[in-house]
Copies of this chain bind each other. A is one copy, B any other.
Amino acid sequence: MASVNDLAILEVVIKRAAAYLTDPPRGSDPVISFASPTALADALTASVGMELADRSDQHSVDDVLASVEQVIEYSMHTSHPRFVNQNFAAPDPISVVGDWLGAALNTTGATFEAAPVFTLMESAVLSKLGRLAGYVESESDTLPELPPGLFCAGGSMGTLLALQLARHRWQPDITTSGANGDRLVLFVSTSGHYAAAKSAALLGIGTDGAVEVATDHEGAMIPVALNAAIDDARAAGHTPFAVIGTAGTTVTAAFDDLEALADICKSSGLWLHVDGCYGGSAMFSPQQAWQLRGVDRSDSCVWNLHKMMGMTQQCTALLVKDPPS
């Protein structure tokens, strides 16, 4: 049970956070009041400060409120209309209060028993996304036994898990006995995200195993270059197992031709993973969904709903069409 002082703190912080949410900085308000780390640390000593001593008294309500004002003053105002960023955007305030409710309930999504409502919601949203991607029957409006994927902590994590599934389908005994020294390789365009190389390093494949394929002038992978890269890898005695198609590159928002990549993956027996972190949300748009034509033929797809769908960070969906057992 919260103390009287705690209750007073809760009251002022909730009031201030609510005011920020319903009436955020805009117009001529600054997007950020930037201070260097030293200047910022100095400024914060005026309220509760950054020093975490071994023992200290509880801060007063006034000090905490002053600190909240400073946190707001010196933070990036991501809801400001002039905040422009390639990685995320302003959250829809409705998404923010959804987060608030979730934080107050503080459930874990690990099992249905621990979080009945939220696991059901996760299934419902993943099924909706799976229908958009063509992974799940579009006629079906009943919830599947298991959702076609999961939400995870960021796009790099989604790509890591997708590549692990791809490797597992290729060579299931790696899960128990480990990599046997075969040089596994995956393919991603030169404009693709560095999540590919990071994942290759973590998986023990090595960054050399994330082979970069040339792109056209817009930044989309050249399919004949992918074919050549696969041939080259095989000629070198390496073992191709996956291709990452990028749906919305970070720099130019280019979309790889997923139909062409799916054809190549089908004929080569490779797993097609779609990195739709940036551009996946085009699937919601009748005018733009064609950019991801062929995504229904991929094996997995990851997309970040905090980039274009107004969700708070990090809201990453990993969809898997047919998880290997």
Contact = CB atoms under 8 A, between A and B. Distances in A.
Interface of A: 1-2, 6-7, 9-11, 13-14, 16-18, 20-22, 26, 32, 34-35, 37, 40-41, 44, 50-53, 68, 70-72, 74-79, 85, 87-88, 90-91, 93-94, 96-101, 103-108, 110, 112-118, 120-121, 124-125, 127-128, 141, 143, 152-154, 157, 160, 164, 167, 174-181, 183-184, 200-209, 312-313
A37 B116 contact: yes
A125 B52 contact: yes
Contacts of A21: 10, 14, 104
A287 to B, nearest CB: 15
A162 to B, nearest CB: 12
Most buried by B among A14, A79, A313: A14
A85 B107 CA distance: 11
A179 B141 CA distance: 45
B78 A105 contact: yes
15 contacts: A1-B26, A2-B22, A16-B101, A37-B112, A37-B116, A44-B117, A99-B100, A100-B103, A164-B202, A174-B206, A175-B206, A175-B207, A176-B207, A178-B206, A202-B203
Given A35-B116, A107-B76, A203 B204 contact: yes
Given A50-B121, A164-B201, A167-B204, 16 more contacts: A10-B18, A13-B98, A40-B117, A52-B127, A52-B128, A71-B117, A75-B115, A77-B105, A96-B103, A100-B103, A152-B153, A164-B202, A176-B208, A178-B183, A179-B206, A202-B203
